[in-house]
Structures are given as C-alpha cells and as structure tokens.
C-alpha cells in the first residue's frame, strides 16, 4: 500500500533514531560523599539528648566586693554591711561559667515566679560539693550558688516574717569538718539576700528563741580555729543572729545572754584547771583552755567579766599581746556584736617586728614582737609565726588573700627574707621587709620592683602610716 504525502520516509527515519538511542549506554549517577562537618552533624543528630538542660548563664559578671584595709589612721570600719537587694532579672554577684552537661536537676522547688533548683554533678570524678543551686524566673538566671549541698526543708516558708517565702541553701566545700555556710534569699517582689554566713567549721539552725514568730539563726564562731592549737582544741563560741528588715540577719548574741549560762559554767571549770599544752597549744601555754570562757563572756556582752577573768587566769608573758589579738579578731568577725571591749586594755604605743632566724631558735615562731628597748635575741621577746604576720599584713593591704609568706632562701638560718608567694602556683610576687635600721619601732613595707608605703605596728595591732 502506498503512503500518501511521502510519510513513509519520515517514519523510517524516526524508527532508526529511536533504535540508536536505546543502544547508547547511560552512565550511573555518582553521589559525592558528605563533607566531614556534614557527617559530624548527622552523627550528632542521632545521639541521645541530655536528660536535663544545664542551668542558664547570667548575661554578665558583677564586680566583686572589695574590703578596705583596717588602718589606724582611717575611719573606723563600718559594721556588717546591709544586704543589697538583687532586683529581678539583673545578674547577682554569684556568676561563673555554667555547669557542663553532666549536671542534672536533683531537686526543684517553685515559689511564686521563682524556680529554685539544686543541680547535681553526675560525672564519675565529681563530689557532693560540686553541686550548684540556682534561682531563676521567667527563664532568666538570677542567682547561682556554688557548693550548694542541699535545699533546706524551710525553703518556701516565711522564716523572716516579711510575708514572703524564703529560699534556704546549705553550702559545703567538702572538707573533713569544714567548711559550711548558710545562705537565705527573700523571694519577694525583689529577690534579696538576707543571710550569708562566712564559710567555717560551724553549721547552724533556725529557732524562734523569743517566741515572736520569727526564727533566729543559731550558729557558732570558730575565729580561732587552728590559730593557737590543733582543731580538736580550738575554741568555738555560740552566736545568735536575728532578722532585721533593713539589714538582714545581724549578730545579737548579748540579747540572749541567758543562753551562755551553761557554756560559761563548763568553760569556767576548764579554765580554772587548765594545764600547759593540755589543749594541744602550739606554744605550750593554756591559751585554748582559757579562751572558751573569755569568748563566752565577750559574745554575751559581758566585756568587763571577760577582761577580769582573762587577767586572772592567763599569766603568761604574752598576755598583753594575746588580749590585743583577741580584740582584733572579734572586731573583724561578722558574727560578733560590736562593743567597746578595747576600753579595758592598756597597750604599749608600738611594737617592732623582726625576723628571729639569726637568734639560734629551733621554733617555727620566727617573728619577734619587740617592745621598746628589747634586744632581738632576748629569750623574753614575744614570738609569733609567719601565719600570724600574714593576717596583720592583709589588714594593711600589703598581702592579698591569694598570697602567702615564705622564708627564703629555703632552709636559711640567717640573712633570711620574707618572700610573697602566690598560693595557686608558688610564683614569687615580691617580698616584705621588716625594717629596723631606723630604730624602734621600725617599719614594714613591700617590694614588688616598686617600694610600697611604710607602716608601723601599734600596740593594739592596728597599722599607722609612716610619714615620708
């Protein structure tokens, strides 16, 4: 049959074209391997998510509080500072890097708009003192507290009588018997810290001692731990703190003087029968046998009785210096109720400090505290150790909290110097000079390439700037 219009040649040509296309092989499509970061992302997306998100991080770091040096020619230090309210949601002083993903919420408690969480570190190498407590609202972190051992069962109750619930946090640093602290925040419209006890060997408890419906905080002050004797013999004294709406918890122990009757009776008997070195005193005296009674009288507001009993029961040659040390220590304690205890004392105008390493002494008490006219190697010269001197130097702002003193060169017996060392890594930062070249009462200064101002030590253990 003959095709019309010449279609047959066209159809033959199309058939041959289709047949040729079917015979051409088509190469397989090659998919390039994923780049390394894509592979990592894919692996991450299949990982098991962390059971609990870490606590949020504050947006900035608050400036740490500084403490002015306690000097004789400056104004009298103010008492314990008024707690500063922490307005929500500004970051508080407790700022640090957020915990890692090993932290999970051990306990959570809500109070109004606030969420209080105790975070436990689940890492195998962690300890109980790795725990952290946070207080937040609306997803904004307000407070982060390190070493948060536990949330007290009082959290969520109103212990201050202000009409707002409170958060009560117990802190612990993990030592054998130290250190403990209690922190309380008022969970009102403005988050306010109303109590933070200093880290010490003392815990505490809340008790309504006067029946007014507001709990006092009963604790102790271990201000002389390890100072004159080993820990077992170191004195501690009972302390009562009471809530003040404008200042938070403040020491008011003399208001509860009746609570000291039993301790005074026990410690009076101990002091009357104290024997040298019985309480493992470092210097073989009866310091730690007499101090508990003296502190009971001082903290209960009976200053005259404290002085008279101290004078009667402690008859060693360093009694005058020891009384100055006691007065300075309690004045600097945030747990002591201020009083004019120094009115009972009579001190020399000055002391002169000198290293006694060239006096053939085999004791660790290498700092001589000389009265006027005394020869440095006189056996009657009062002696103290470098730890005692460190406390004094910090009061004069000549030594930072992270610094310590070391005799150098190591093992020296004469021509020794006092090096200032950084505690963290033992790096030398300078030296402290006890200068006696100008005669009594000498001077004390620090050299860090540049010489500091000079100071001399008054009989009440406060510093006086030497005019230059």
- The one-digit pLDDT tens for each residue of the chain (468 residues) are 444 444 444 433 444 333 343 333 333 333 333 332 222 323 333 333 333 444 444 333 333 332 233 333 333 333 334 444 444 333 334 333 455 678 888 999 999 999 999 998 888 776 667 889 999 998 899 999 999 999 999 999 999 999 999 999 999 998 777 899 999 999 999 999 999 999 999 999 999 999 999 999 999 999 999 999 999 999 999 999 999 999 999 999 999 999 999 999 999 999 999 999 999 999 999 999 999 999 999 999 999 999 999 999 999 999 999 999 999 999 999 999 999 887 677 889 999 999 999 887 667 889 999 999 999 999 999 999 999 999 999 989 999 999 999 999 988 888 899 999 999 999 999 999 999 988 999 999 999 989 999 999 999 999 999 975
Q: Calculate the dihedral angle through the C-alpha atoms of 277, 282, 283, 289, rounding to the nearest 10 degrees.
A: -40
All residues at 6 or more sequence positions from 244 whose CB lies less than 8 Å from its CB, including other chains: 250
For position 49, what pLDDT does the model report? 33
153-160 long-range contacts, Cβ below 8 Å, gap at least 24? 154/206, 155/109, 155/111, 155/116, 156/109, 156/111, 159/184, 159/206, 159/214, 159/215, 159/243, 160/184, 160/186, 160/194, 160/214, 160/215, 160/243, 160/245
For position 175, what pLDDT does the model report? 77
All residues at 6 or more sequence positions from 280 whose CB lies less than 8 Å from its CB, including other chains: 229, 230, 232, 233, 288
Q: Could you report how far apart the first and last alpha carbons of the chain are, in Å? A: 134
CA distance 120 to 151: 12
- Where helices occur in 197-302 by DSSP H, the ranges are 261-272, 287-299
For position 154, what pLDDT does the model report? 97
Q: By C-alpha distance, which of 74, 75, 72, 77 is closest to 457?
A: 72
For position 99, what pLDDT does the model report? 57
For position 126, what pLDDT does the model report? 67
CA distance 90 to 265: 50
For position 465, what pLDDT does the model report? 94
For position 468, what pLDDT does the model report? 57
CA distance 240 to 197: 12
Q: pTM for the whole thing?
A: 0.76
Q: Calculate the dihedral angle through the C-alpha atoms of 299, 304, 308, 310, rounding to the nearest 10 degrees.
A: 30
Q: Which domains does the chain show, CATH number per domain?
A: 53-59+79-199 (2.40.128), 202-346 (no CATH), 350-465 (no CATH)
């Amino acid at each position: 049959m003959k095709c019309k219009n010449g279609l047959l040649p066209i159809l033959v040509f199309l058939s041959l074209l289709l047949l040729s296309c079917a015979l051409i092989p088509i190469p397989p499509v090659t998919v390039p391997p994923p780049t390394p970061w894509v592979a990592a992302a894919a692996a991450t997306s299949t990982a098991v998510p962390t059971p609990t998100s870490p606590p949020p991080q504050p947006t900035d770091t608050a400036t740490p509080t500084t403490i002015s040096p306690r000097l004789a020619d400056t104004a009298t230090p103010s008492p314990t500072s008024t707690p500063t309210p922490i307005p929500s949601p500004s970051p508080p002083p407790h700022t640090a890097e957020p915990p890692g993903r090993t932290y999970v919420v051990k306990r959570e408690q809500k109070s109004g708009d606030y969420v209080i969480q105790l975070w436990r570190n689940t890492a195998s190498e962690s300890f109980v003192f790795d725990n952290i407590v946070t207080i937040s609202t609306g997803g904004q972190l307000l407070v982060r507290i390190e070493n948060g051992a536990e949330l007290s069962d009082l959290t969520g109750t109103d212990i201050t009588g202000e009409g707002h619930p409170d958060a009560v946090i117990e802190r612990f640093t993990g030592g054998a018997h130290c250190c403990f602290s209690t922190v309380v925040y008022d969970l009102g419209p403005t988050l306010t810290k109303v109590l933070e006890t200093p880290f010490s060997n003392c815990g505490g408890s809340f008790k309504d001692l006067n029946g007014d419906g507001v709990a006092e905080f009963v604790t102790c002050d271990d201000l002389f731990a390890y100072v004159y004797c080993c820990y077992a013999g170191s004195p501690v004294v009972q302390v009562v703190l009471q809530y003040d709406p404008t200042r938070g918890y403040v020491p008011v122990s003399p208001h509860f003087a009746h609570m000291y009757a039993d301790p005074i009776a026990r410690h009076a008997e101990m002091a009357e029968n104290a024997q040298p070195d019985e309480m493992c005193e470092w210097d073989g005296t009866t310091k730690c046998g007499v101090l508990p009674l003296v502190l009971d009288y001082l903290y209960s507001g009976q200053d005259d009785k404290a002085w008279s009993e101290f004078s009667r029961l402690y008859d060693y040659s360093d009694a005058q210096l020891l009384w100055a040390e006691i007065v300075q220590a309690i004045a600097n304690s945030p747990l002591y109720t201020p009083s004019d205890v120094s009115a009972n004392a009579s001190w020399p105008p000055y002391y002169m400090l000198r290293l006694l390493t060239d006096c053939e002494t085999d004791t660790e008490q290498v700092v001589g505290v000389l009265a006027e006219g005394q020869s440095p190697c006189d056996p009657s010269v009062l002696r103290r150790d470098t730890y005692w001197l460190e406390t004094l130097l910090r009061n004069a702002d000549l030594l930072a909290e992270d610094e310590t003193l070391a005799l150098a060169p190591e093992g020296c017996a004469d021509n020794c110097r006092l090096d200032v060392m950084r505690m963290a890594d033992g790096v030398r930062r300078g030296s402290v000079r006890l200068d006696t070249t100008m005669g009594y009462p000498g001077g004390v200064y620090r050299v860090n390439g540049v010489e500091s101002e000079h100071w001399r030590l008054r009989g009440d253990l406060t510093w006086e700037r030497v005019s230059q």
